Amino acid sequence: MLLSAARTPADLAAMVERRAAGLPLEHVLGWAEFCGLRIAVDPGVFVPRRRTEFLVHQAAALAGPRAVVVDLCCGSGSVGAALVAALDRVELYAVDIDPAAVRCAHRNLADTGGQVYEGDLYEPLPAMLRGRVDVLVANAPYVPTEAVRLMPPEARLHEPRVALDGGADGLDVQRRVIAAAPLWLALGGYLLVETSERQAPQTVEACTRNGLIPRVARSEERNATVVIGTRPALQSGSDGGAP
């Protein structure tokens, strides 16, 4: 891959030196392959993982035509770009708190019509989206703080800590995503959260506690786990049956 990317012998030597120094291959190349797409990935930006393709496939299966999709903790914008490629006329909104990731997402989503915002989770989203979101995807950080030091050096040294560290049990950001999701989801809308197989029961419990109907999807091939929470299509007291 380095040979095919290098334009001159000097380019190749520089790229080999950067890779040998421990830089992720995707940062050396400037891109990552994700769901058949070439996603631009700048140095210091979280590299999209192949297991997250399972999150995309689950979301695509649930989204109808002209779906309103929100991608929280979007990183490079890989999930949003893949969903736009897979679906018909998506209305896409992507958010990340990291300015470098937001710049990268702008590039990757420039031709999709998607909107990219910088900020903390839902905070920068337009208020008009409340109650309108059909599919909300979140690949929020879910590595426990103490486990970050055990990650490969490509991740812990070259990716932003904010994209990895999920707090003491890894679920701090997930809980915030889940707690506010019912305010933004349409009736019958879906929240999809990537998590680990070990953490899935706690993610399920958080969904239940916040009024979402949860289920767990698992791919052994990709070692991927996604918890899907559905906002009930009929809320209590809204069916008109009470006198």
- pLDDT tens digits for 66-106? 999 999 999 999 999 999 999 988 999 999 999 999 999 99
- What mean pLDDT comes out for the span 23-39? 93
pLDDT at 215: 97
What's the whole-number average pLDDT of the chain?
93
pLDDT band at residue 237 using 50, 70 and 90 as cut-offs:
very low
- Domain residue ranges in the chain: 19-230
3-state secondary structure of 29: helix
pLDDT greater at residue 65 or residue 235 = 65
Q: Which residues contact 7 (CB under 8 A, 6 or more apart)?
A: none
- What mean pLDDT comes out for the span 140-161? 92
**Long-range contacts, 108-116 (Cβ 8 Å, 24+):** 108/39, 108/40, 108/76, 108/77, 108/78, 108/80, 108/81, 109/77, 109/80, 109/81, 109/84, 112/80, 112/81, 112/84, 113/84, 114/77, 114/80, 114/81, 114/84, 114/90, 116/74, 116/77
Gap between the Cα atoms of 72 and 121, Å rounded: 6
pLDDT greater at residue 64 or residue 201 = 201
19-230 placed in CATH 3.90.850.10: no
- What mean pLDDT comes out for the span 182-193? 97
- What mean pLDDT comes out for the span 164-180? 96
pLDDT at 235: 57
In degrees and rounded to multiples of 5, residue 180 shows phi and psi of -95, -10
Gap between the Cα atoms of 72 and 141, Å rounded: 11
The answer to whether residue 236 scores a pLDDT higher than 60 is no
Asked whether the CA dihedral 83, 92, 224, 231 is positive or negative, the reply is: negative
pLDDT band at residue 240 using 50, 70 and 90 as cut-offs:
very low
pLDDT greater at residue 191 or residue 2 = 191
